[in-house]
Each structure stands twice: as C-alpha cells, then as structure tokens.
C-alpha cells in the first residue's frame, strides 16, 4: 500500500503498466469547491485564479505570517491510500511548473527510457534529466532544482536496490 498526502500544486503520478495514474489532488482556485471555500473564508480570487493576488494554490504551508492568506488557505492535505501491484513501475512527484511543460504520459515515457537497466545509476539520472526536460521550450528560471529533484526522487525510490 502506498500512502500519499499533498497540498497545493504538487501532483504524484504512478505509472501502472505504462499508464499514468494521478494519485493526488491539485488544490487550486480553478477547482470550484476550493474556490468557494477560500471565498467563504474572506479571500478574493482573481480572474487568473490567484488567491488575494498572491498564489494560485488554495492549500499550502508557509503562509502563516501573511495575514491576508492565513485564514483563507487551508493546511489540510488530501490523503490517499493506493494499493500497489506488480505492474506499478515508478512514481513521479512534481509541482505545477513541471507539469506545465510535460504531460503525465510524456513524463512516464521519459522516465521509462531513463530507467532502462543500463541507466539506473543516480548520477546518470541527474545528468540526463535536465536535458530531456529542456526539449520543450521553456524559460530556465521556471524549472527549479526542486522540480527536477521531485521527478528524480520518485524514480530513485522505485529503482533503489
């Protein structure tokens, strides 16, 4: 059994028999229930989906000092328990910036190619992944080390001896 909990825009995708399966919930103001909850707590949601013109997420950690967001954002995570099967290949955990440039299927295909038996060494994943991600045009500052580490961490956990 795999237990996951998330808040904000972090999404976990489990590759099951080559098919991406989303196992988390994205908490943003574009979700009707989340939008209504933050508005009922006194926040304003802009047309671009930003809560109080600060963030697009409706559940987050770290905004306790921001009076305008403290009572509007929730720290309650989405929790999910997923049974694991022999057909489960790996887990990808990444934030919204990563998913903006790679879809679940493309990310899973990229991981599969990187996880071929001859490519399982940690150093190879770190040196190959940034080049693969940059195949799509994107401004480098938006791809953080955290984003790349999130994807890499999920692949390492599944392939560790």
Say yes or no to pLDDT of 11 above 60: yes
Note every long-range contact of 21-26, with CB atoms under 8 Å and residues 24 or more positions apart, other chains counting.
Answer: 22/104, 23/80, 23/82, 24/78, 24/80, 25/78, 25/80, 26/96
Cβ atoms 15, 36 nearer than 8 A: no
pTM comes to 0.67
pLDDT-derived band of residue 20, with 50, 70 and 90 as boundaries?
Answer: very high
39-53, 59-73, 91-105: lowest mean pLDDT where? Answer: 59-73
Cβ atoms 63, 55 nearer than 8 A: yes
Q: Which residue has the tokens 């190619």?
A: 113
Q: How much is the average pLDDT of 1-12?
A: 88
């Amino acid at each position: 059994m795999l237990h996951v909990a998330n808040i904000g825009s972090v999404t976990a995708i489990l590759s099951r028999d080559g098919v991406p399966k989303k196992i988390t919930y994205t908490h943003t103001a574009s979700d009707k229930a989340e939008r209504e909850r933050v508005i009922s707590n006194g926040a304003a949601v802009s047309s671009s989906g930003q809560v109080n013109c600060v963030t697009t997420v409706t559940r987050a950690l770290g905004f306790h000092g921001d009076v305008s967001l403290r009572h509007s954002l929730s720290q309650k995570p989405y929790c999910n328990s997923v049974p694991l099967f022999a057909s489960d290949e790996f887990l990808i955990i990444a934030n919204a910036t990563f998913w903006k440039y790679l879809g679940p299927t493309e990310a899973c295909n990229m991981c599969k190619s990187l996880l071929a038996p001859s490519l399982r060494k940690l150093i190879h994943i770190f040196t190959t992944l940034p080049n693969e991600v940059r195949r799509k045009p994107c401004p480098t500052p938006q791809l953080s080390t955290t984003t790349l580490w999130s994807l890499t961490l999920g692949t390492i956990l599944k392939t560790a001896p």
